[in-house]
């Protein structure tokens, strides 16, 4: 059995400082839901990745807990600091705080459970990832909070029954599992490339588009793609308190994870009950816009969080 690896990504730039709302956050219309959801406050997203720089200025107040499942730091389970950079970047896209400095995430008041399953080199054993998935399902916060979204920007070529079972357990527990499609794409929309766990039907598989809303050459296309999100030159948090622009389906995935943190708060308030994972998925799909690519390339389209609001506005307009 081969190891699970970081989905390859491209480093475009490292910045010491920045002060902007990243373009991807604008493209998915995150700000349109901030008032109604209090920026995702109350949602907890488990980030299963390389860890996170826990004292990054944009993230240090966002982390509710964590655990290291790797051999890094001599296997110290309490040390889930990021020694790669990838996990910190993913975490920032989900929940970097809105404080007028640095960057901001899709759900700036969501909390993050950081589960380090990939080493400094970006690889990890399947067992580490399975243990982290089970941990995320069982985890409870001080006030009995629990994880509602799991973000997985990693993948491998092998279908693994134990991995799939742990994902199904998470979904049965009402957790939305969001996975990167993979970057083995060949630029053709009609050829299929599969990476696991993204290719499982039960997960929410995310492909990548650029700022022009065109499909990227690298994004995997297959018959299980659910939607797409920005994945080119995505600006987010990085090691040493810095910021970086990275490209890959790894960067598209946390846009959707953060989007779900907002959607869950919004619709459970509206319906005044806890929604199942399937119901949450249907609410996500309601907030996608087709871009004109084949369904095997874009699924339901680009996550556009303001869409239902715009439709409601249309129908409220007097004739």
Cα gap 277→262, rounded to integer Å? 14
**Six-digit token string for 318:** 């007097």
Is 151 among the catalytic positions?
no
The answer to whether the CB of 89 falls within 8 A of the CB of 58 is no
255 is catalytic: no
CB 115 within 8 A of CB 90: no
Cβ contact 231:217 at 8 Å: no
250 annotated active-site: yes
Neighbours of 291 (CB within 10 A): 14
Q: Choose the catalytic residue: 49, 58, 72, 226.
A: 49
Q: How far apart are CA 122 and CA 86, in angstroms?
A: 8
Q: Are 251 and 219 in contact (CB under 8 A)?
A: no
Q: CA 127, CA 196: separation in Å to the nearest integer?
A: 14
In the set 43, 58, 72, 86, the catalytic residue is 86
Distance CA 298, CA 226 (A): 7
- DSSP letters along 10-68, please? EEEEEES--BS--HHHHHTTGGGGHHHHGGGTT-EEEEEES---TT-TTTTTTEEEEEE
Q: Which one of the listed residues 43, 123, 195, 250 is annotated catalytic?
A: 250
Cβ proximity of 9 and 251 under 8 Å: yes
The residues that are catalytic are 49, 86, 250
């Amino acid at each position: 059995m081969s190891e699970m690896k970081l989905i390859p990504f491209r480093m475009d730039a490292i910045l010491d400082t920045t002060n902007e709302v990243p373009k991807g956050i604008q493209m998915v219309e995150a700000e349109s839901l901030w008032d109604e959801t209090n920026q995702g406050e109350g949602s907890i997203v488990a980030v299963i990745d390389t860890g996170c720089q826990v004292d990054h200025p944009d993230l240090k107040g966002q982390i509710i807990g964590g655990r290291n499942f790797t051999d890094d730091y001599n296997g110290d389970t309490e040390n889930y600091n990021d020694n790669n950079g990838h996990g910190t970047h993913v975490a920032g896209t989900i929940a970097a705080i809105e404080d007028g400095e640095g960057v901001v995430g899709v759900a700036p008041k969501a909390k993050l459970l950081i589960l380090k399953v990939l080493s400094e080199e970006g690889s990890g054993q399947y067992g580490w990832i399975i243990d982290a998935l089970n941990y995320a399902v069982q985890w409870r916060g001080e006030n009995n909070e629990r994880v509602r979204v799991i973000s997985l920007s990693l993948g491998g070529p092998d279908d693994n029954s134990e991995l799939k079972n742990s994902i199904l357990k998470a979904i049965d527990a009402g957790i939305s599992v969001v996975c990167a499609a993979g970057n083995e794409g060949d630029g053709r929309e009609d050829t299929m490339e599969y990476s696991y766990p993204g290719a499982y039907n039960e997960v929410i598989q995310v492909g990548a588009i650029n700022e022009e809303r065109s499909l990227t050459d690298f994004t995997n296309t297959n018959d299980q793609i659910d939607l797409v999100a920005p994945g080119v030159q995505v600006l987010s948090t990085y090691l040493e308190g810095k910021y970086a622009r990275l490209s890959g389906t790894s960067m598209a995935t946390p846009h959707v994870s953060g989007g779900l943190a907002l959607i869950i708060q919004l619709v459970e308030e509206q319906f005044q009950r806890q929604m199942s994972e399937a119901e949450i998925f249907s609410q996500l799909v309601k907030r996608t816009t087709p871009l004109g690519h084949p369904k095997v390339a874009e699924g339901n389209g680009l996550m556009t969080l303001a869409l239902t609001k715009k439709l409601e506005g249309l129908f409220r307009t007097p004739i």
